[in-house]
Amino acid sequence: MKAISVLGSTGSIGTQTLQIAEEFPEQFKIVALTAGKNLDLVIKQIETHQPEVVSLADDSLLPELSRRINNLNEDSKIFKKPLLMAGAEGLNTAAAWGSADLVVTGIVGCAGLLPTLAAIEAGKDLALANKETLIAAGPVVIPALKKSGSRLLPADSEHSAIFQCLQGTPWADNARLSTGVPTPGFKSIQLTASGGAFRDWKAEDLVKATVEDATSHPNWSMGKKITVDSATLMNKGLEVIEAHYLFGLSYDQIEIIIHPQSIIHSMVELDDSSVLAQLGWPDMKLPILYCLSWPSRLKTSWPRLKLTEIGNLTFKEPDTKKYPCMELAYSAGKLGGTMPAVLNAANEKAVELFLEERFKFIDIPKVIEAICEKHKCDLNLNPSLSEILEIDNWAREEVLDYSEKKITKMQF
């Protein structure tokens, strides 16, 4: 029985993790939950999973949560009232929870950084969905992993595909995962991308893109932020940096390939020219399950992949002119140090403002480029955690500044 702590239990990754725990009650037990504001769902999750600790983002909701749990207790729907916490302290406590073996990081954005470090310091293994943490703070997270011996298992479908392919090579030396040591025998990896919401739009039409347009993904059902990142293709750029840290590869070894059907989840090209791929329906449950069950595999009754139903698998080069975010991510990754943190924070803030309709879709890459450019003279190649947090904050303030100055009128 593996005990699991779920950060972001009410989100897309969190709810799918809990579905898996329900499906495999002999294998997985949920001991800690953290969530934002969706109390109705949290209550249902507590009733179903009986966790030992529950933490909410905001402490103003704790009295109501406590009252509703007492009612459940009276009706004998929960066996033991969980410890209730809130805010950063609650998040870090749930991440480092004593009885947890593995922590699923389903929080969105850099908010996942401190709890991820708390989990690593407590020696927990992690199922990494929250890629923003690794991208912003690779220079701090990788040494922390080396020190604690925790393993970062990739829940992102592309990185899970590469990790699964790695199991079939002589270098399936699992201790190598996320230590920054290059994975030997790899010539390149090819990250597949669906192309996002605007893949069939002309570049000149992107100026009209609305929030509704950008949050309708053709293949995957995910949270809003990552769906917008998929529409700008920044998600793929972030995944390039994620792959660099997870597998210790140089940026020249990481390629992006557009694959609209999202059936091949990524590929590894080996030194002898063989290419290994992992295939499946576009469904995050499989990569999450693999993090939970690794190194074993569990038998599921999920729909079998039928290639004859799909007929064609197609591929093309990414359009870097229409989608500048990919190149911005490669440049930030190659510069390293604090630059990926700036790229990530500027992107998070720009997407947040776009979702609030205070920012145009086409201005997202422009503002990120301008802020990364501005940061070049202050680039810190070996930042500490506090320096990363400071620069993250700076980049967000800069985006706000641009938006208030009506960026469309500004020269980039």
Q: How far apart are the C-alpha atoms of 227 and 241, rounded to whole Å? A: 18
Q: How far apart are the C-alpha atoms of 381 and 358, rounded to whole Å? A: 33
Asked whether 8 and 108 are in contact (CB, 8 A), the reply is yes
Contact set for Mg ion, span 175-204 (CB under 5 A): none
By a kind-dependent CB cut-off of 5 to 8 A, residue 226 interacts, out of Mg ion, ligand NAD, none, with ligand NAD
Site size for ligand NAD (CB under 6 A): 26
Place of tokens 């140089």: 250
13 belongs to the binding site for ligand NAD (CB under 6 A): yes
Which CB, 129 or 342, lies closer to Mg ion? Answer: 129
Q: How far apart are the C-alpha atoms of 405 and 135, rounded to whole Å? A: 28
Question: Could you say which of 29, 49, 124, 131 contacts ligand NAD (CB under 6 A)?
Answer: 131
Which CB, 194 or 403, lies closer to ligand NAD? Answer: 194
10 belongs to the binding site for ligand NAD (CB under 6 A): yes
By a kind-dependent CB cut-off of 5 to 8 A, residue 12 interacts, out of ligand NAD, Mg ion, none, with ligand NAD
Min separation Cβ 226 and ligand NAD, Å: 4
Question: Could you say which of 108, 117, 371, 391 contacts ligand NAD (CB under 6 A)?
Answer: 108
111 belongs to the binding site for ligand NAD (CB under 6 A): yes
Q: How far apart are the C-alpha atoms of 229 and 235, rounded to whole Å? A: 5
Asked whether 99 and 31 are in contact (CB, 8 A), the reply is yes
Contact set for ligand NAD, span 17-76 (CB under 6 A): 34-36, 57
106 belongs to the binding site for ligand NAD (CB under 6 A): yes
Min separation Cβ 93 and Mg ion, Å: 29
Asked whether 250 and 333 are in contact (CB, 8 A), the reply is no
Nearest to 398 by CA among 357, 340, 360, 343: 343
What mask of x and - would describe binding to ligand NAD in positions 205 to 244, judged by CB under 6 A? ---------------x-xx--x------------------
Min separation Cβ 131 and ligand NAD, Å: 5
Which CB, 51 or 195, lies closer to Mg ion? Answer: 195
Place of tokens 């020249």: 252
SS3 of residue 256 by DSSP: strand
Q: How far apart are the C-alpha atoms of 22 and 48, rounded to whole Å? A: 8
Question: Could you say which of 125, 156, 363, 398 contacts Mg ion (CB under 5 A)?
Answer: 156
Nearest to 219 by CA among 280, 287, 291: 280
